[in-house]
Each structure stands twice: as C-alpha cells, then as structure tokens.
Structure 1
C-alpha cells in the first residue's frame, strides 16, 4: 500500500492553520488577561488540535486503527497537560520568564512576544507533531513496533502525570517552603515530568516509525527531547534554583538530571 503523498501534502496547510488558530485565540486571551503565561496552556491544546485535524483529513487514506490510536493518545496527553498547567497558573501573575523577556523588548512588547514566543512555539509545535500527522496517513496496519510505542507512551504518561501530581502536592504543603522535592519519582530524576514528556513523543513517533514513511520524521522527537533536556526546559528551570532552594546543589549532585537512575551514594 503506497503512502498517499498528495493527500498528506494537501493536509499540511490545514494543520498549520490549526496551530495558527489555537495560538491566535491564545494571544487574544493573553492580551485580555494581561499576561502571556496563558500560552503555556495552549502547548498541549495545539498538539491536540493538529492531531484532530490530521485525523479528520486522513479519513479514507490512513489505516483506521493507527489514525484513531495516535490521535487518541495525543489528545489525552495534550488535554491533561493543558488542564494541569491551567490549574497551576490560576491566580498567578505573569511568568517570570516572559516578564524578563518583555521588560527588555525593543519596540512594541506585544509584537515582540508574537515573534519570540507565539511564532517560535507554533513552529516547534507543528514540527514536533509531524510523526502524528504522518501516522494518520499511513495505510499499513498496526505492527509490533506500534505497540512498543504505546508502551513507551504509557511509561511517559505515568512519569509526567505522577511527577506533576507529586510536585503540586509538594508546593501546596506550607512545610515545603525552601525545601527540595527529593521523594517519589523526584528521587530518581530531577525532572520526571520532562522525561515523561520525551517518552510520550518517542512513543507517538514509534507508532509512525512502524510504517513508511514515518521514519522520515525522526528529527521531531529528537528536537522535543533536546528542548526538554538541553534547551528551554531543564536548563532554564534550573538556572536560579540553587539560590531559591539551598539544598538544591546537593540534590543535583546525587540525582540524575533527566533519565531516571538510582541516587548516587555518598553524595552530600
């Protein structure tokens, strides 16, 4: 069964449009709320919108089981993440990252935010979602590698969901002020939610890789993993953590930065 390149190419402008619509609406909400932190909620929603768009446009082209599976997993992940971030940011002001960036913005701060935040996030969102888009159009039935992908997705979803829950519970405990979360999943990795996020996208990508031409989207999960581990995820979050939490330096010495590993013995 040949891959429907024509139908896939015809769908690309519409998946781009889905990203533009989500981020455009988000910008309007951000301007009304007076804070651009709401764009973080749109991160998961944007991926869900792309998946649903690709699913609708691939009807009659891709394998029904693969289309449904990859779309369902993407929407579940994206919706959970959006709800979590929305609840976490409720009642708070502007994110310090965006406040610092906009404070030194040349020219109009809104247009600067559009260029530096919304357009950048939209481009990354669309590129990372390519395995999901391709998977929706692959006509071959699901194979063993696809089910390995589901297993990897489940591992990632567990780490991300449980890690977020443990962190929320820790932050809501007044006794945690100034302390470092080093129990539960956070005992084995300093960023279980980021590790989980990476696994989710490797899992979704494996579903695409199990049929041609899914492997051509290999750079998408690589890009997501790099962003989380080396780009705007882990390094940015840890930049001033040691100054805000005195025990963080010791925590870094004994705890893996990304991939879960047993704590180093004897580290103080």
Structure 2
C-alpha cells in the first residue's frame, strides 16, 4: 500500500506544476477567469493521480474516480465553453484591479498570488474526499456498504441537478428575448442556484462513499464543508447575486419568492 504522505505529496506537486503552467498561460492572454473551468478538472486530476498510485485499486476507488470524473469533466467542458464564448469574467477583472490598485503589484504577480496560488490549496482541500477515499480503499479491504450506495445516489442526483440547471440557463440565455430578464422556470423556480446545489450534493455524496473507509474518510469532511461555505457564503452566491441585483430589475422580486440554495416551493406573493 502506498504511504499516504507520499501520495499527498505527489498529488500536491502535480497540482502545483499544472497551476504554474496555467498561470503562465494567463499572463500570456491577460485573463485569469478560465481558472473556474480548471477548478473541476483539477479535482479529476487529483483523483486520477491517487488512483494511479494505488497498487490494487478496489471497487470503492473505481466508484470515487468515476463519480469525480463524471462531475468534473462535464463541468469543465461547460465552464470552458462559456469562457470561450463570453470572455473574461467581470468578477475576476474586478478582483485583479482591486488588488493591483491596493498593493501596487504587477498584473502577473497579482494573477499568481491572488488567483492561482490561492485557488490551488482550496481545490486540494475540496477534493480530499476523493483523494483519501481512493487511497484508503486500496485492495478492496472494505466492501461497498449501504452508506456508499446512498452517497453514490446523492452524488448522481447532484450531477443531474447541476447538468439540467445549466442546460436550462443556456437555453434561456440563447433567446435574445430574455436579455435582461431573470430565469424563474424549471429548476430555477425552486432554487436560485441549482448549479451550486448540485455541486454540494455531488461532493457530500462522494464524502459519504469515502466515510466507509473509517478515519481517513471522516477527516475529509472538511472538503464538502468548505465547498458548501464557498458556494453559499463566500465567492459563489454572494458575489453573483450582488451583480445580478444591479443588472436585473426583476431580481429582487425573484429573491423574495425563491429559495437561495435548497430547492423549495416558491413563496406566494
């Protein structure tokens, strides 16, 4: 069995090398916002790296890798396609400009320290359920139990929820008649952020699968906790809604009647 410390070090080194390459690319194109697409793909890379270092990966390892890849590759393609179509994300442009103004840093230094080297450890932490779960499952020492099947179900529901939500939003935006309007049908009728809810479900599900490995799995709970906090309290929902309230006159009414995260029936007005 591969030593956990060695596995983590190899994964961290690989992630750091890729992050530096992406930073160099960002300097060349003067845009950092493609990092969102790499966030999901980076977790796939970490899961693959952990699986590849296992001498005898078992059923749980395959399940964790498969779910991580299914979630991550779909989301990466979605976010990469969106970035290529719409260009730089205004949120990142604002962050970059603010840091450069306050600290007097160059564009390249700001990109490295405020975006890429900040994102890397957060990505690594979020992916701990997949990494520790795959590592602790080597050799099929622990069979898949009810908790793993429940976790897989939750993760698949999350992937489907996010995929459907993204498809509905893409279709809505593709119609010129919807310019300046708020999507409040489909899954978006029950939650203002079906994509974020789907992300959270996926990683709580992956964590439940990892839990059956014992202490390594339980420790990895920091991953879904951090992801949920990020989506609901930090850089996800708060920043996105702040911008929406400024650009969409109908958004305040939408907020008043629609759940902010968990899908619930809309409130009567």
Where on the TM-score scale, by shorter chain, does this alignment land: which range?
over 0.9
Question: What TM-score does the superposition give when structure 2 sets the normalisation length?
Answer: 0.93
The runs of 5 or more residues in structure 2 that have no matched partner are none
Distance in 2 separating the partners of 1:91 and 1:154: 28
The runs of 5 or more residues in structure 1 that have no matched partner are none
Distance in 2 separating the partners of 1:151 and 1:21: 34
Residues 151-187 of structure 1: per-residue CA shift (max 9 Å, x gap): 0001100111011111111111101011100000000
Distance in 1 separating the partners of 2:166 and 2:20: 27
RMSD: 1.3
The residue number in structure 2 matching 1:86 is 80
Find the partner of 1:46 among 42, 49, 55. Answer: 42
Query: Are the equivalent residues in 2 in contact too, given 1:26–1:38 (CA < 8 A)?
Result: no
- For these two proteins, the number of residue pairs brought into alignment is 260
Query: Are the equivalent residues in 2 in contact too, given 1:23–1:39 (CA < 8 A)?
Result: no
The residue number in structure 1 matching 2:126 is 128
Residues 62-101 of structure 1: per-residue CA shift (max 9 Å, x gap): 5x10111101111111111110011111143321112112
Q: Is the counterpart of residue 7 in structure 1 residue 10 in structure 2?
A: no
Counting only pairs closer than 5 Å after superposition, residues 196-207 of structure 1 correspond to structure 2 as 196-207=198-209
The residue number in structure 1 matching 2:231 is 228
The residue number in structure 1 matching 2:254 is 251
Partner SS for 1:240: helix
Distance in 1 separating the partners of 2:29 and 2:111: 15
Distance apart, 1:116 and its partner CA: 1.3
Query: Are the equivalent residues in 2 in contact too, given 1:30–1:39 (CA < 8 A)?
Result: no
Mean Cα displacement is larger for which, 251-260 or 9-18?
9-18
Query: Are the equivalent residues in 2 in contact too, given 1:22–1:42 (CA < 8 A)?
Result: no
The residue number in structure 2 matching 1:187 is 189
